[in-house]
Structure 1
Amino acid sequence: MSKTKILSIVFFVIAIVIGYFFVDSIAYDIQQEKKIKREEARVINKLKQIRSGMIAYQRVNGQYTSDWDKLINFIDTGEFYLTERSETIIPREYGGDSVVINIDTLGTIPVYDSLYADIPDFNLSNLPYKPGTKTKFEIFADKIIKGSVRVDVFEVKDPDPINPKRREDDNEKALRVGSRSEVTTSGNWE
């Protein structure tokens, strides 16, 4: 065999090996990206469920909670009052009107049934945990002064993001709902 033929075969084998590793690395990156999107979708869904519970807790108790046990207990045993509001307008002799507002309580509905009854396989005891792990979400609730008004705020944050980009700057970009410093119940993915 000539040197040219041997070198051609060697270079061909090297090209095949390099091509394989190149395709494999691209396939791996694509798989990782799909896995990150799938896991982040599960975390976002869980954060939406937590947000619903926190908003309900605040409506009934007048403030948010930073205690998972209180939130879970409220969702499990708490109730919303069903009310009906009616107004009666009484005309006055001098041309003005007087309005009488009547609010009647019609009954109650459990918080759990109102928020989570339509979610299949919902497990209330797993609410504080990231899907598929035993890592709890970080929860924060407090009152802040915003525009000379004292308002309630909460934040629930993923402590261990799967996406390496979200881990930058001490998890500053981690998936979260609410804010420690702004009056919002939005998630940072919205």
Structure 2
Amino acid sequence: MNTTKILSIVILVIALALGYYLFSSIKTDIDTTERIAKTEARVINKLKMIREAQVAFQKVNGKYSGNWDELLAFVDTGSFYITNKTEIIIPLDYGADSIYVEIDTIGTVLVKDSIFSPSKFPNFDLATLPLIPGTDGKRFDMWADKIDKAGVMVDVVEVRDIAPVDPARKESNEITNRKPLRFGSRTNITTSGNWE
């Protein structure tokens, strides 16, 4: 064999190895991105469930829950009142109206049956509600309290992912939607999520 054939074979082998390396690294990046997207979708779905539970808890109890045991017990055994509201408008002689509102309680419905119905959340499992998907049993960080806003004490809640699967999601990020996934705020009156 002459040196040209040997060099051609060596260059071909190097080109094939380099091609495989490039393909493998691009495929790994694509697989990682897909895995992060799927896991974050599961985390967002779980945060939506927790938000539904917190909003229901606040409607019934007048405050948000900062305790997982209290929130889980509410979802398991808590109930809403079903009411019927009737407004009667009575016209007055001088052109104004008087409104009489009558509210009747018809019955109750369980929180678990009304909010977490199989049609809305088909994979709802109360036991795993506080657990972050894709982790080894870590729980979402949940905080609830009252804050002063313009001289009025208001209820606020924040639930956040303490173990983000995306390494780019850090608390130090300036952009809110690049911070770890969460809903609510410790300083503002909101229950919106940073993925919205």
TM-score (norm 1): 0.93
Q: Which amino acid aligns with 1:122?
A: F
Partner of 2:142: 139
For 1:92 and 1:169, locate their aligned partners in 2 and report how far apart those are by CA, in whole Å: 61
Matches within 5 A, 1:69-88: 69-88=69-88
| Residue 6 (1) aligns with residue 6 (2) | yes
Deviations 1:67-104 (A, max 9, x none): 00000001111111111111223344555433221111
Displacement after TM superposition at 1:168 (Å): 6.0
Partner of 1:97: 97
> Which has the higher mean CA deviation after the structures are superposed, 91-100 or 146-155?
91-100
For 2:123 and 2:44, locate their aligned partners in 1 and report how far apart those are by CA, in whole Å: 17
The answer to whether the Cα contact below 8 Å between 2:158 and 2:184 also exists between their aligned partners in 1 is: yes
Supply the RMSD in Å over aligned alpha carbons: 1.8
For 2:22 and 2:94, locate their aligned partners in 1 and report how far apart those are by CA, in whole Å: 88
Displacement after TM superposition at 1:36 (Å): 0.4
For 2:88 and 2:122, locate their aligned partners in 1 and report how far apart those are by CA, in whole Å: 43
Partner of 1:45: 45
Secondary structure in structure 1 of the residue aligned to 2:169 = helix
| Runs of 5+ unmatched residues, structure 1 | none
Partner of 1:189: 195
Q: Which amino acid aligns with 2:166?
A: N
For 2:91 and 2:195, locate their aligned partners in 1 and report how far apart those are by CA, in whole Å: 52
| Residue 173 (1) aligns with residue 175 (2) | no
- Residue number among 157, 160, 164 corresponding to 1:161 in the alignment: 164
TM-score (norm 2): 0.90
Deviations 1:21-60 (A, max 9, x none): 1100000100000000000000000000000000000011
> Which has the higher mean CA deviation after the structures are superposed, 93-102 or 35-44?
93-102
Displacement after TM superposition at 1:11 (Å): 1.4
Distance change (3 Å), C-alpha of 1:182 and 1:13: same
Number of corresponding residues:
190
Deviations 1:131-165 (A, max 9, x none): 25411000011111223322111111011000011
For 1:97 and 1:4, locate their aligned partners in 2 and report how far apart those are by CA, in whole Å: 102
For 2:61 and 2:25, locate their aligned partners in 1 and report how far apart those are by CA, in whole Å: 53
> Which has the higher mean CA deviation after the structures are superposed, 63-72 or 124-133?
124-133
Matches within 5 A, 1:110-121: 110-118=110-118, 119-121=121-123
Identical aligned residues as a percent: 52
For 1:97 and 1:87, locate their aligned partners in 2 and report how far apart those are by CA, in whole Å: 12
Q: Which amino acid aligns with 1:42?
A: R
**Structure with greater proportional helix content:** 1
| Residue 109 (1) aligns with residue 109 (2) | yes
Secondary structure in structure 1 of the residue aligned to 2:172 = helix
Secondary structure in structure 2 of the residue aligned to 1:116 = coil
Q: Which amino acid aligns with 1:182?
A: N
